[in-house]
């Protein structure tokens, strides 16, 4: 959606970022909670999110897994936010609530995305008011964005509405969280350019290898 935005606009907004301190996990402040370890088979902590999980690729939700859910947990909640969006609050990319305590992962594509039907999950509203995974789509020229995948173990309490949003999630986490954790992945439009160039170089090399006369290689 933003790929055709002039990079000069993104560059002019570089200093405008929502801030990681405004994501749900960090808004909890210094509240001490047991840590849930969150990881992905697609990228390392702080590493680049592959293009296939972004608006420049197929737009699938990335695979996630977690461990360290404490006893007496009633349900698991996930919220993914862009800490560097040029908006007053971090852009919400996904909300999933009421996952079972025995569910320790979300495979690739488990959350609905614009062109892909996911699993039968209770998905909340992203910042575009869709019940779906919002693929990363940072403005060209705005630099690297940090996407914060936050997992919370909740005790029992007031049930969620059918399609919860960020504020409802925050209130539930503040009142009911037993443990928490997060994983950060990064993406930028500059990363797309580098990846595209690398793919082209690989294709050029392969093409040259295919035309080498027999007996020379």
Interval 189-200 mean pLDDT: 53
pLDDT cut 70: percent of the chain above it: 80
Q: Identify the CATH number of the domain in which residue 113 sits.
A: 3.90.280.10
Does 61 fall in a domain?
yes
Contacts of residue 50, Cβ cutoff 8 Å, sequence gap at least 6: 42, 43, 57, 62
Instruction: Please report whether residue 216 resides in a domain.
Output: no
8: pLDDT strictly greater than 60: no
What pLDDT does residue 192 have? 57
Residue 140 pLDDT level (bands cut at 50, 70, 90): confident
pLDDT of residue 29: 75
Look at residue 80 and tell me if it is in a domain. yes
pLDDT in tens, 86-124: 999 999 999 999 999 988 999 999 999 988 899 999 999
In a domain, 158, yes or no: yes
Task: Say yes or no to pLDDT of 178 above 50.
Answer: yes
* Within a domain: 197: no
Residues 6+ apart with CB under 8 A from 46: 184, 185, 186
Does the CA dihedral 151-157-158-160 come out positive or negative? Answer: positive
Q: In what order do the strands lie in the sheet with 64-67?
A: 37-39, 64-67, 105-106
Cα dihedral value 193, 197, 198, 199, nearest 10? 100
Is there a domain that residue 111 lies in? yes
- Assigned domain for 210 exists: no
Domain span holding position 129: 7-188
| 157 found inside a domain | yes
Mean pLDDT, the chain, rounded, equals 84
Overall number of domains in the chain: 1
- Given a cut of 70, is residue 183 above it in pLDDT? yes
């Amino acid at each position: 959606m933003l790929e055709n935005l002039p990079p000069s606009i993104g560059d002019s907004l570089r200093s405008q970022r929502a801030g990681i301190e405004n994501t749900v996990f960090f808004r909890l402040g210094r509240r001490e909670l047991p840590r849930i370890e969150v990881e992905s088979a697609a990228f390392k902590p702080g590493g680049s999110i592959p293009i296939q999980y972004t608006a420049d690729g197929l737009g699938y939700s990335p695979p996630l897994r977690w461990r360290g859910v404490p006893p007496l947990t009633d349900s698991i909640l996930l919220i993914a936010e862009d800490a560097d969006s040029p908006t007053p609050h971090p852009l919400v990319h996904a909300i999933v609530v009421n996952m079972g305590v025995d569910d320790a992962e979300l495979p690739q594509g488990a959350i609905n995305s614009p062109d892909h039907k996911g699993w039968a999950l209770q998905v909340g509203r992203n910042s575009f008011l869709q019940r779906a995974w919002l693929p990363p789509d940072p403005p060209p020229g705005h630099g690297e964005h940090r996407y914060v995948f936050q997992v919370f173990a909740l005790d029992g309490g007031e049930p969620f509405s059918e399609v919860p949003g960020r504020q409802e999630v925050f209130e539930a986490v503040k009142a009911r969280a037993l443990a928490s954790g997060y994983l950060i992945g990064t993406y930028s439009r500059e990363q797309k350019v580098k990846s595209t160039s690398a793919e082209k170089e690989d294709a050029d090399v392969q093409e040259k290898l295919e035309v080498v006369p027999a007996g020379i290689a």
